[in-house]
Structure 1
């Protein structure tokens, strides 16, 4: 870690800045790992992270433990801490669990969404569609807002929080896949189909639209593993 991008991330992110020292370190590191600024296989220095974030080593140590729990880093006794390679098996497991939860959420959303809820979702899609194709960061920010909004209108905010750890593995693949392996217009179209089903009150159609959308990451994985073999493991 030769640059101070962790401190830049923390300064730019109000949520990170407002958190406790341990959460601030965790959030900044998670964001850097997901955005591949800390690439799979990279060593992490407790001292260097603490310096960049302006905190003591204890909260960084706590952050490393939390990151290990969500499968983003590996702590090797006597050897150090390393960003984990992207596990194909863990991505599939995360996708499987996320699908089960999000289909249940969208099913309920289709049964109770109001016109105002639908308009909110369409506004997010419009923002996504207007983005420059290279603006991966904002595209994924809006993608997260889209799914979180569905959870909110279904009154399933707690279920969304449960998904936080599951998304860790998938988020790295999603970031890596844009825009080449997964064209942005494909995702935008999938979002529109989900909202069309919600607006129609068709829970079964919403289920299927969400299933197709969440399978998109599996379509991208083989291409990415072939293109970036050094970033993946079985």
Structure 2
């Protein structure tokens, strides 16, 4: 088990340890397992996936795998092509832009709430994630870094008293997550850490204007990163 998975489990971030420590067996577990592989680009955009091969890999029948494929297709993460098979969907630029716009609007409001509340425990939890991110700067640490990045933003929602809002955002940002895993392999992760620290410093000072501005700048970074990633790997994207 990777260290970041252990940390996440200990911090109570709703990690299903059965998926991490044992092969998935139910349709729901298989869906979570495949979704994770898609979002980390372990299964890259455009890759063909086979019910038969995956069922054989984990030693189960094809039916729960088929159900998981259907859910991935409903999420826009897989595409069933008649007579050809099932393929991992390409990253939708339109879906990324829409989800980013919604996320900026929601998290900017959460940021203003937290700047007014300044909850000591919540701010400390966000700082703990920044400290963890500093340990995840190596080439093999991308998944751990992105998980800690997500926990930083989840802690913001928790500190504002709206954890359920983050859960809603998580369902929206499947396409963003794939792009983030690609960008974190290319761009300096220290820049993201610095942005997180700037947000947190403003929150700690109770400066809602500066905190909101820092959050908006942070969430708009993807607008600069995506064209470069798309140019380098155009086969991964669709409009």
- TM-score normalised by length of structure 2: 0.85
**1:7 aligned partner:** none
Matches for 1:53-68 after TM superposition, within 5 Å:
53-68=58-73
Q: Using the alignment, how far apart are the partners of 1:137 and 1:72 within structure 2?
A: 18
Q: Tell whether 2:180 aligns with 1:177.
A: no
**1:132 deviation in Å?**
3.2
Runs of 5+ consecutive residues of structure 2 not aligned to the other structure: 1-14
Identify which of 162, 165, 179 aligns with 1:156.
Answer: 162
What is the root-mean-square deviation of aligned Cα atoms in Å?
2.0
Whether the 8 Å CA contact 2:123–2:159 is kept in 1: the answer is no
**1:211 deviation in Å?**
0.9
**1:125 deviation in Å?**
0.5
Give the secondary-structure state (helix, strand or coil) at the position aligned to 1:81. Answer: strand
Give the secondary-structure state (helix, strand or coil) at the position aligned to 2:86. Answer: strand
Q: Tell whether 2:145 aligns with 1:142.
A: no
**1:13 deviation in Å?**
6.5
Q: Using the alignment, how far apart are the partners of 1:159 and 1:20 within structure 2?
A: 30
**1:124 deviation in Å?**
1.1
Q: Using the alignment, how far apart are the partners of 1:100 and 1:62 within structure 2?
A: 34
* 4+ aligned runs moved over 6 Å, structure 1: none
**1:116 aligned partner:** 121
**1:15 deviation in Å?**
5.2
Whether the 8 Å CA contact 1:68–1:74 is kept in 2: the answer is yes
Distance 1:94 1:47, change over 3 A: same
Q: Deviations for 1:33-90, whole angstroms, at most 9, x for unmatched residues?
A: 1121111111111122222233332222221122122211112334321101112111
**1:93 aligned partner:** 98
Matches for 1:45-60 after TM superposition, within 5 Å:
45-60=50-65
Whether the 8 Å CA contact 2:100–2:219 is kept in 1: the answer is yes
Q: How many residues align?
A: 222
Whether the 8 Å CA contact 1:133–1:179 is kept in 2: the answer is no
Q: Deviations for 1:83-123, whole angstroms, at most 9, x for unmatched residues?
A: 01112111111111221222222222222232232222112
**2:206 aligned partner:** 201
Give the secondary-structure state (helix, strand or coil) at the position aligned to 2:79. Answer: strand
Whether the 8 Å CA contact 1:133–1:184 is kept in 2: the answer is no
Give the secondary-structure state (helix, strand or coil) at the position aligned to 1:82. Answer: strand
Distance 1:68 1:129, change over 3 A: same
Give the secondary-structure state (helix, strand or coil) at the position aligned to 1:130. Answer: coil
Runs of 5+ consecutive residues of structure 1 not aligned to the other structure: 1-11
Give the secondary-structure state (helix, strand or coil) at the position aligned to 1:140. Answer: helix
Distance 1:203 1:54, change over 3 A: farther
Give the secondary-structure state (helix, strand or coil) at the position aligned to 2:173. Answer: helix
Q: Using the alignment, how far apart are the partners of 1:44 and 1:112 within structure 2?
A: 47
Q: Using the alignment, how far apart are the partners of 1:58 and 1:113 within structure 2?
A: 49
Distance 1:113 1:59, change over 3 A: farther
Q: Using the alignment, how far apart are the partners of 2:98 and 2:64 within structure 1?
A: 29
- TM-score normalised by length of structure 1: 0.87
